Copies of this chain bind each other. A is one copy, B any other.
């Protein structure tokens, strides 16, 4: 199965972008980027603020405010380790954290499909309450719409968040410099495997649960330790590989990753092989990349390891010079291969 991994990675191959929306436009990879560049950026010039982050940092009455939004369409809405509700809360909290911002207030807008069970909605709302309480944020404003049967997907949730930036300098991928250390906060792939296990009715020996969690405690710890943070990025849609490619492309640098340093648990590795998926492209909901100056690398790693949500942190690679920005994976036996952005849609409705 290892032999056709490269094929599997890019499968299903997207047809050339046509005049209709394809699933891959929402995959977080190349087509999502095309859609943003061709449709949204020309229309919304303010989005440039967002392009470097998962949110915008704005001046507000003398302070630096972070503002972000995300829609959640995961199917099924309840899965091992979480629900669409805590995914929405943690996802938005994490987008704020990735701006170096302390999450403060959240909004939640629901699009419900006629016929959706009220009990499931109650479960989802309760999991949102718990996630918000744990993350120390309030859900302060909301909205509910209902669409007719067959025109929705059960429940969709759009959350937005406001935070206040706590880093002394801006967190910005353009600050990433050759020599910088690349840290990953923990093992990857378990959110995707958890979703796939319920969706496909698969049973694994060891049940895998979603990694959904607020990452702010880890970012807060880095800030309090006085680490100079160049870039933060949570590895959601498109996974670690796509996040690294986005950073490389924005910063105009290259990144080399040591495959043997990337933590993947045995159950996730086993499930990935069965499913023909590469954990490096799998969506995570509680894992992030931090890029810091070489001199801060060891201390940043130690700091992350001292915090529960990032206790499995590893230094997975280094930023290098190089002509065309690219991400390279060094295999345990020393082979090198280019780690490209996600092409096509690996797993629809994963978040």
Contacts and interface: CB of A to CB of B under 8 A. Distances in A.
A108 B46 CA distance: 11
A156 interface: yes
Given A60-B65, A118-B20, A141-B56, A110 B71 contact: yes
Interface in A144-167: 144-148, 150-153, 156, 158, 160, 162, 164
Q: Which 7 residue pairs across A and B have the least CB separation, nearest first?
A: A26-B146, A158-B158, A46-B138, A160-B160, A69-B107, A61-B63, A44-B139
A143 interface: yes
A41 to B, nearest CB: 10
Contact of A43 (B114, B116, B128): B128
Given A45-B138, A128-B43, A141-B67, A21 B107 contact: no
17 contacts: A19-B118, A21-B112, A21-B116, A21-B146, A35-B144, A43-B126, A43-B129, A60-B60, A61-B63, A67-B105, A68-B107, A69-B142, A69-B158, A70-B143, A71-B144, A111-B158, A146-B348
A132 interface: yes
Interface in A21-73: 21-27, 32, 35-36, 39-40, 42-47, 49-50, 55-56, 58, 60-63, 65, 67-73
Contact of A152 (B22, B125, B151): B151
A324 interface: no
Nearest to A129: B43
A205 interface: no
A121 interface: yes
A26 B144 contact: yes
B47 A139 contact: yes
A266 interface: no
A283 to B, nearest CB: 12
Given A60-B60, A60-B65, A125-B40, A146 B22 contact: yes
Interface string A98-137: 0000001101111111111111011001101100100000
A274 interface: no
Interface string A307-351: 000000000000000000000000000000000000001001100
Contacts of A71: 109-111, 143-145, 158
A56 B79 CA distance: 31
Contact of A129 (B44, B49, B70, B148): B44
A235 to B, nearest CB: 16
A125 B39 contact: yes
Contact of A114 (B21, B58, B61, B114): B21
B21 A156 contact: no
A102 to B, nearest CB: 11
Residue of A20, A21, A55 with most chain B CB atoms under a 10 A cut-off? A21
A119 B148 CA distance: 25
B36 A105 contact: no
Residue of A24, A56, A142 with most chain B CB atoms under a 10 A cut-off? A142
A21 B56 contact: no
Nearest to A17: B118
Contacts of A1: none
A2 interface: no
